């Protein structure tokens, strides 16, 4: 099964993940997201795709991971072969979630955004 990358063409973070997928020769398809139109702010999209309303989101076999930095770290560790996004039921994913939160908080602090992250 192919990876699906929920992304925006103008996003550098989406580009980083797409570049990795291409360079690794993995089967993937882009899923366009109307970020400017507010798609990621809708409760249905957040429930189905990314609870934090972020892009990019890498999806495979019903498992999803957000935050380009966390995705690339996981990709480097696992090699991302044949849909190897970690399952939420295994301990290693917690470190990826913690990493995603840390990267998100770092971004908010650097950009001056106050955000509303719950830790």
Fold category of 3-111 in CATH: Glutaredoxin (3.40.30)
What mean pLDDT is predicted for residues 4-9? Answer: 92
> Is the Cβ–Cβ distance between 13 and 68 less than 8 Å?
yes
- pLDDT tens for residues 83-104? 555 554 343 445 555 666 665 5
Domain residue extents for the chain: 3-111
Confidence of residue 118 (pLDDT cuts 50, 70, 90): very low
User: Tens of pLDDT along 41-77?
Assistant: 999 999 999 888 889 999 988 889 888 888 888 777 6
Query: How far apart, in whole angstroms, are the C-alpha atoms of residue 57 and residue 47?
Result: 13
pLDDT at 104: 57
**Is pLDDT of 25 > 90?**
no
Instruction: Give the residue among 107, 93, 116 at the shortest CA–CA distance from 13.
Output: 107
95 and 86 Cβ atoms separated by less than 8 Å: no
Q: How far out from the chain centre does Cα 10 lie?
A: 15
């Amino acid at each position: 099964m192919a990876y699906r990358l929920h992304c925006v063409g103008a996003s550098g973070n989406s580009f980083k993940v797409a570049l990795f997928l291409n360079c690794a020769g993995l089967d993937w398809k882009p899923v366009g997201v109307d970020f400017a139109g507010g798609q990621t702010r809708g409760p249905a999209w957040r429930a189905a795709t990314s609870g934090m309303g972020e892009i990019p989101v890498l999806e495979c076999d019903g498992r999803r991971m957000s935050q380009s930095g966390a995705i690339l770290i996981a990709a480097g560790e696992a090699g991302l072969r044949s849909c190897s996004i970690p399952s939420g039921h295994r301990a290693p994913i917690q470190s990826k979630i913690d990493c995603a939160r840390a990267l998100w908080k770092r971004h908010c602090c650097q950009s001056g955004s106050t955000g509303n992250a719950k830790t």
